Amino acid sequence: MEFHAFILCGPGKGLSPFSQQRSSGQPKALLPVANRPMIEGVLDWCEMAFFPKVTLIVNDDSEHQISLELDEYKRKLAAANKAKQTADESSPYTTDFSILNLETDFSGYVLYHLYKSGIHPYHNFVVLPCDFVTNLPPQVFIEAYRNKSDKDVGLLVHYRNTLDIEDKKTKIFPTNYTFYGESKDDDSTKLLDIYSAEDVEFHKTLKIRTQMTWRYPNTIISKKLLNSGIFFGSGDIFTIFAANPNRYTEAYFLCRPLTKIIRDLARRSWRHSKLQETIAFLIIPDIATFYRINNTPVLMEANRSVLQQQAIQKSQSGVLPAAREKNAANVGIDSLIGDNSVLGERTNVKMTVIGKNCKIGKRVRLTGSLVMDNVVIDDDVSLENCIVGSDVIIHSKSKLTNCNVEAMHEVVNGSHFKGETLLSLSLEGIVENGMETATSEEDSSGSDDESDDYDDDVEYDDNADGLFDY
């Protein structure tokens, strides 16, 4: 069974101010996890899956950067393959990577594109987000898909959060009411319906259709399941689309996220007098690691979990840190420093990732933070649980705790912040809802005044891929 894989490189609404929601941001797919763009993890996973064809779906803003990254990745891959090949004579299996620019706000359009252009020569496809991290091999998913019943036209994957993040007001992990149940014909789990919490809140009621209770008398409704964004589909879906051309119009796909379309298909399966094609449903087992980096707390946590593993590996392998000079910077085994970064005397780095070409001054304390590339940190700065965007300058004696600092920002001498998001002043702040304007790369100084209401706006529709936007 061969799949054509599509990786959706979305805008990263939840990752503002580091994503391209802000003009200074990078494409979400390129945000670093332990100094590697997160997309590389996904591409590695695709390599493991032996997908013959992988297409990255990008938009105008991110196309250039992502294609550069993809070339870089291909180069690395070729090098690795070459090295492997010399050791092992088996023929190298190559994946065909490509990039496709689809300018759309909603992931559902991808499905329309597939519907119209076809997925020839393969009969199956898989849609992946660019932001997931898992230790579960792709074969598990493929096997689940292969075991689906004939009636299933797809397989949607959900997961439960296993990260230990305090989630007040369920902002990090949006609540959805996911309905799933076992089919009496073939004991496999089916997706039946999804409602978002906002929808339920708006109507002040959770609707349960009685038709469904007859079809699936033993339905489970979970509030804890999160959408993994991974969807395995078969070409049969397009037959359904083609059979109902009035319903599945271009407009239908243009304004719906992918999950909503799958939800509609799932509803369709039981609401008719005759049972229709169903959507299989897979929940990632709790023992596996799976999470999606679609907001800043998870980005932080993702980096940390890599660091933790690194620390465990290092301590197990028994490699002791080389003896260092008395005043040299202290870098814990649970930290990672990028190439060409310089650390000053008596600087202490714990549980922190530092990107490339950073200049860290003396007596700096970095704890549990993520520092991206080209950052300059002056003496006596203390950062705790902060994410610092690239090209940021933090002047001496600043103390930041639980802060996010947007790229290009300059933090003045002796600033003290707790739990703030420090944004660069740019023209886009003026425009409603952070719509993209002409890229204003103006560096700003003294922009310590917060544009709070702007931030609120971002959080208001802070649900991953805008799954349930109205």
Among 86, 91, 117, 218, binds other proteins (CB under 8 A): 218
- Does position 201 bind other proteins by CB under 8 A? yes
Binding region for other proteins (CB under 8 A) out of 45-53, 64-72, 200-208, 442-450: 200-208
- Residue from the set 100, 136, 221, 283 that interacts with other proteins by CB under 8 A: 221
3-class DSSP string for 138-177: HHHHHHHHHCCCCCEEEEEEEEECCCCCCCHHHCCCCCEE
Question: Whole-angstrom Cα distance, residue 260 to residue 196?
Answer: 10
User: Does position 208 bind other proteins by CB under 8 A?
Assistant: yes
The amino acid at 82: K
Minimum CB separation of residue 130 from other proteins in Å reads 28
Do β-strands 124-129 and 225-234 pair in parallel, antiparallel, or remain unpaired?
Answer: antiparallel
169 makes contact with other proteins (CB under 8 A) = no
Output 95 or 104, the one with its CB closest to other proteins. 104
**74: which 2 tokens?**
């291909």
Q: Which residue in the set 86, 121, 150, 214 belongs to the binding site for other proteins (CB under 8 A)? A: 214
At 223, list the tokens. Answer: 């509030």
Q: Which residue in the set 171, 223, 272, 418 belongs to the binding site for other proteins (CB under 8 A)?
A: 223
Shortest distance in whole angstroms from residue 241 CB to other proteins: 22
In whole angstroms, the minimum distance from the beta carbon of 156 to other proteins comes to: 18
Q: Is 44 in the site for other proteins (CB under 8 A)?
A: no
Closest CA to 65 of 19, 6, 129: 19
Asked if 283 touches other proteins (CB under 8 A), the answer is no
Q: Which of 86, 205, 246, 317 binds other proteins (CB under 8 A)?
A: 205
Between 177 and 238, name the residue whose CB sits nearer to other proteins.
177
**Does residue 76 belong to the site contacting other proteins (CB under 8 A)?**
no
What six digits make up the tokens of 19?
Answer: 């994503």
Q: Give all strands of the β-sheet with 225-234 in edge-to-edge order.
A: 96-101, 53-58, 3-8, 124-129, 225-234, 152-160, 278-283, 189-196, 176-182
Closest C-alpha to 37, from 73, 77, 76: 73
Two tokens at 286?
Answer: 């709790």
Q: For other proteins, which residue of 118, 137, 217, 414 counts as binding (CB under 8 A)? A: 217
Tell me which stretch binds other proteins (CB under 8 A): 30-38, 193-201, 372-380, 440-448: 193-201
Binding test (CB under 8 A) with other proteins, winner from 84, 116, 207, 418 = 207
Task: Tell the smallest beta-carbon distance from residue 469 to other proteins (Å).
Answer: 11
79 backbone dihedrals φ, ψ, rounded to 5°: -60, -45
Note whether 185 binds other proteins by CB under 8 A: no
Helix/strand/coil for 127 = strand
Listed in order, strand segments (DSSP E) in 243-364 are: 278-283, 290-292, 330-331, 336-337, 342-343, 348-350, 353-354, 359-360
Among 98, 135, 170, 213, binds other proteins (CB under 8 A): 213
Residue environment code for 404-435, b if the CB has 16+ CB neighbours within 10 A, otherwise e: bbbbbbbbeeebebeebbbbbbbebbeeeebe
By beta-carbon proximity to other proteins, the closer residue of 203 and 418 is 203
Q: Mark residues 238-277: x for contact with other proteins by CB under 8 A, - for none.
A: -----------------x----------------------
Residues β-bridged to residue 384: 367, 401
The only residue of 171, 203, 247, 324 in contact with other proteins, by rule CB under 8 A: 203
Tell me: does residue 432 bind other proteins (CB under 8 A). Answer: yes
When the beta carbons of 73 and 179 are compared against other proteins, the nearer one is 179
Nearer to other proteins, 204 or 326 (CB): 204
- CB closer to other proteins out of 30 and 261: 261
Stretch that binds other proteins, among 2-10, 128-136, 166-174, 201-209 (CB under 8 A): 201-209
Exactly one of 202, 239, 249, 452 binds other proteins (CB under 8 A); that residue is 202
Decide the pairing of beta strands 359-360 and 342-343: parallel
Of positions 98, 135, 149, 211, contacts other proteins by CB under 8 A: 211
93-97: Cβ within 8 A, 24+ apart: 93/50, 95/46, 95/47, 95/50, 95/51, 95/52, 95/53, 95/54, 96/52, 96/53, 96/54, 97/43, 97/54, 97/55, 97/56, 97/70, 97/73
Q: How many residues bind other proteins (CB under 8 A)?
A: 31
In DSSP terms, 37 is beta-bridged to 32
Residues in 445-464 that interact with other proteins by CB under 8 A = 460
Residue ranges in contact with other proteins by CB under 8 A: 177, 179, 184, 197, 200-211, 213-214, 217-224, 255, 430, 432, 460, 470
